[in-house]
């Protein structure tokens, strides 16, 4: 065995047989380690064991509903359990804090939302992760359809009448959201600038609490996912005046915010799958393809529509670009609003 010296291309015949043998073994060990790592990174039988799916929100939340529909499909497709683990807290950031500590091997996935991944980093002083460096976006799965509703006691049934009333009564209207920095909060503040609506923000801890006070007339306006508001719209307990980002098939006569205000671009809160940075590209691509296949099934699409969601799955690079764009766009919006949660 002839070895090259560190600073020369010449062979070094002066090593002893023992030295040459040891060097050979070391080289062989390195080659085997690299080969094993390559094989693991391109694991042909992934997943070969159960997969953990961390969800950043509580059971029953629209993100949790979506995660469970997809995890059931993946479990059947992969022949391995895909177990949902809810980690709510800190506006969705606690789940990401948990997932970022996991090995980057494809066996821990994160299902999270725009709020935790593209808004919270700008409104919390320290979320405990850097979305751009610590995670790889895998696939955007769906987004919740939004409804803007008012309390019936106002006797108002359109956005134009609401704006007119607010200008005539500038200290009367309040709108509630599930907290500072949430998508409804950002949307309402943008809408106020665009429409001239005069209304004060009242932050709550949960959307359900806002809805209770909306029905009771203690707050007058709420913008929230259709899964929260639609049942009360159907029951006649709240009045819908706008939807976003598109027409709602169950409320076909209610206009979108973009129709009412051309060029208005509401914040549309995507829900997607992430993995710790460094997860092998072959595994990332497999998850992307398999999730998209499940979401393309008509039965699954109907199930999501019944829960107020629209499928938005696409290539991995497309979702990666969306996350990057929204991270920068919402950073600018948060700075403009001078918004901080802590």
Q: 221-225 and 146-150: which strand pairing?
A: antiparallel
Sign of CA dihedral 123, 126, 128, 134: positive
Q: 200-203 and 174-177: which strand pairing?
A: parallel
Coil/strand/helix, residue 144: strand
Q: Does 3.40.190.150 match the CATH number of domain 51-145+270-337?
A: yes
Q: Where are the beta strands (DSSP E) in 189-336?
A: 200-203, 221-225, 239-244, 271-276, 309-311
Prediction pTM value: 0.79
Per-residue pLDDT of the chain (342 residues; tens, 9 = 90+): 333 333 334 444 434 443 444 444 444 444 434 433 444 445 679 999 999 999 998 888 889 999 999 999 999 999 999 999 999 888 889 999 999 999 999 999 999 999 999 999 999 888 999 999 999 999 999 999 999 999 999 999 999 999 999 999 999 999 999 888 889 999 999 999 999 999 999 998 888 899 999 999 999 999 999 989 999 999 999 999 999 999 998 999 999 999 999 999 899 889 999 999 999 999 999 999 999 999 999 999 999 998 889 999 999 999 999 999 999 999 999 998 888 776
8 Å CB contact between 166 and 172: yes
246: left (phi over 0), alpha (psi -120 to 50) or beta: beta
**How far is the C-alpha of 243 from the C-alpha of 238, rounded, in Å?**
14
- Tell me which residue of 209, 228, 315 sits closest to 269, measured CA to CA: 228
- Tell me which residue of 258, 249, 254 sits closest to 238, measured CA to CA: 254
Q: Where are the domains of the chain?
A: 51-145+270-337, 148-244
Q: Please tell me the CATH superfamily of domain 148-244, with its number.
A: Periplasmic binding protein-like II (3.40.190.10)
Task: State the Cα angle at 97 between 92 and 100, rounded to 5°.
Answer: 125
The DSSP H or E segment spanning 231 is helix 226-234
Same fold, 51-145+270-337 and 148-244: yes
Bond prior to 187 in cis (omega within 30° of 0): no
């Amino acid at each position: 065995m002839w070895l090259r010296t560190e600073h020369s291309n010449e062979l070094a015949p002066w090593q002893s047989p023992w030295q040459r043998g040891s060097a050979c073994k070391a080289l062989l060990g390195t080659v085997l380690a690299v080969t094993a790592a390559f094989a693991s990174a391109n694991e042909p039988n992934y997943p070969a064991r159960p997969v953990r799916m961390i969800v950043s929100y509580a059971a029953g939340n629209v993100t949790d509903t979506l995660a469970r529909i997809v995890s059931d499909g993946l479990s059947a497709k992969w022949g391995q359990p895909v177990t949902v683990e809810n980690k709510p807290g800190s506006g969705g950031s606690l789940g990401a804090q948990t997932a970022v500590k996991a090995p980057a091997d494809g066996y821990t996935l994160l299902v999270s939302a725009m709020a935790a991944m593209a808004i919270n980093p700008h409104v919390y002083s320290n979320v405990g992760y850097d979305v751009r460096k610590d995670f790889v976006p895998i696939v955007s799965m769906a987004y919740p359809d939004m409804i803007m509703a008012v309390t019936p006691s106002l006797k108002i049934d359109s956005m134009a009448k609401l704006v007119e009333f607010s200008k005539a009564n500038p200290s009367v209207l309040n709108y509630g959201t599930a907290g500072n920095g949430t998508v409804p909060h950002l949307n309402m503040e943008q809408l106020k600038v665009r429409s001239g609506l005069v209304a004060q923000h009242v932050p709550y801890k949960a959307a359900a609490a806002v809805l209770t006070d909306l029905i009771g007339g203690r707050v007058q306006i709420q913008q929230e996912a259709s899964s929260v508001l639609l049942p009360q719209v159907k029951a006649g307990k709240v009045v819908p005046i706008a939807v976003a980002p598109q027409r709602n098939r169950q409320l076909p006569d209610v206009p979108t915010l973009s129709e009412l205000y051309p060029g208005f671009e509401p914040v549309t809160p995507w829900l997607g799958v992430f993995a710790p940075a460094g997860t092998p590209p072959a595994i990332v691509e497999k998850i992307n393809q398999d999730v998209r296949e499940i979401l393309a099934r008509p039965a699954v699409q109907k199930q999501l529509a019944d829960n107020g969601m629209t499928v938005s799955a696409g290539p991995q690079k497309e979702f990666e670009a969306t996350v990057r764009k929204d991270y920068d766009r919402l950073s600018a919006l948060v700075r403009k609003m001078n918004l901080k949660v802590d």
